[in-house]
Every structure is written in C-alpha cells, then in structure tokens.
Structure 1
C-alpha cells in the first residue's frame, strides 16, 4: 500500500467526529478539494479541533499505473472522494511513498 501527501487546510466542522478539507495536487498542477471526517483522513492523529492549519497528512491509496513522465495514477482508499465524486487521480510520483 502507498500513501499520497495532502495538506489539511480548513476545518469544515470541529464537532465530533470533525470534518476537514484537504488539498491534493495533481501532476498537472490542478488542486483537488476533499472534505471528509477527521478519522478517515487523519490516521496518525495529527489534527486536533482548534489546532492550527495547514497540516500535512498522508492518505492511503493504491497505485494503478506508473507513467513514463514520473507520474502515477492512484485511487484513494476508504471511499475517499473529491467534491465531484472522483476517487482516481494522477499525481507526481514524488508525492507518493510506501506505507510503513
């Protein structure tokens, strides 16, 4: 399994379980907004209600394809999707790492 780096940038709702917006940058430079519950997006417990943002997070993903240009096509896990319902994105391979 892999993880892709994202940035938590805004609290949408701080009440339990908390909802946060994270930004994912695709390889073409476009920025994707993802809003979901804190326990889904933050497996490491880095976010705390009222805490300062931005905070770097890593979202679990599957690498579907490695591209010759250094990019990768990924699918986010845990049914995480952007505001348009997409779960598959093309990212720069440098934003990926293997999960430990």
Structure 2
C-alpha cells in the first residue's frame, strides 16, 4: 500500500484509542483535514493530548491514476468527518 505525507495537527478526543486531526495538501494547494482514530494514520499510541503538534504521519492511500506531476488517490480508510475519499495530490507527496 502507498501512503501520502500528512501531519497530525491536534488532539480531538480521548476515546480509545484516541482521535486526531490530520492535514494534507492537494495538488491545488488546498489543505484537507481528516479526523479519525490514531491507527488509521499509522500513529504510535504514545501520541496524545499533550504532544507537541504538528507530528508527521502517513495516510494510507490507493493509487488510482498518475496524471503528469499529479496522482489521483483514494483514501484507504474513510475518515469520520468526510464522505469523500478521492483526491488529487502531487506525485512527490507519495511514499511507496
């Protein structure tokens, strides 16, 4: 599975295993915020409300199509705050 680079920007909830807000930027420079449980973003359990944010994270994605310097991706898991899973990101932001 591929991932894209993102950053955890804040702690949202103490519900187990913890919920965080994660941001990433699409090819047009628009920042998107996803809110979900720590494991969805491959974050260690030691991240918490008192951590110093932002914290680098990787967001699991499926590669759909490469278009020049951009890649169409689908999120591997649907975050709680959005029903959208398809985005276009810079190909350079993809980690294999």
What TM-score does the superposition give when structure 2 sets the normalisation length? 0.88
Contact 1:20/1:36 (<8 A) preserved:
yes
Q: What runs of 5+ residues in structure 1 fail to find an aligned partner?
A: none
What is the RMSD computed on CA atoms of the aligned residues? 1.7
CA 1:37–1:29: 2 relative to 1, 3 Å = same
Contact 2:73/2:89 (<8 A) preserved:
yes
Other structure's SS at 1:45 match: coil
Distance 1:24 1:60 in 2: 12
Residue 89 (structure 1) aligned with residue 48 (structure 2): no
Contact 2:4/2:61 (<8 A) preserved:
yes
What TM-score does the superposition give when structure 1 sets the normalisation length? 0.85
Q: What runs of 5+ residues in structure 2 fail to find an aligned partner?
A: none
Structure 1: which 4+ aligned runs deviate by more than 4 Å? Answer: none
Contact 1:13/1:19 (<8 A) preserved:
yes
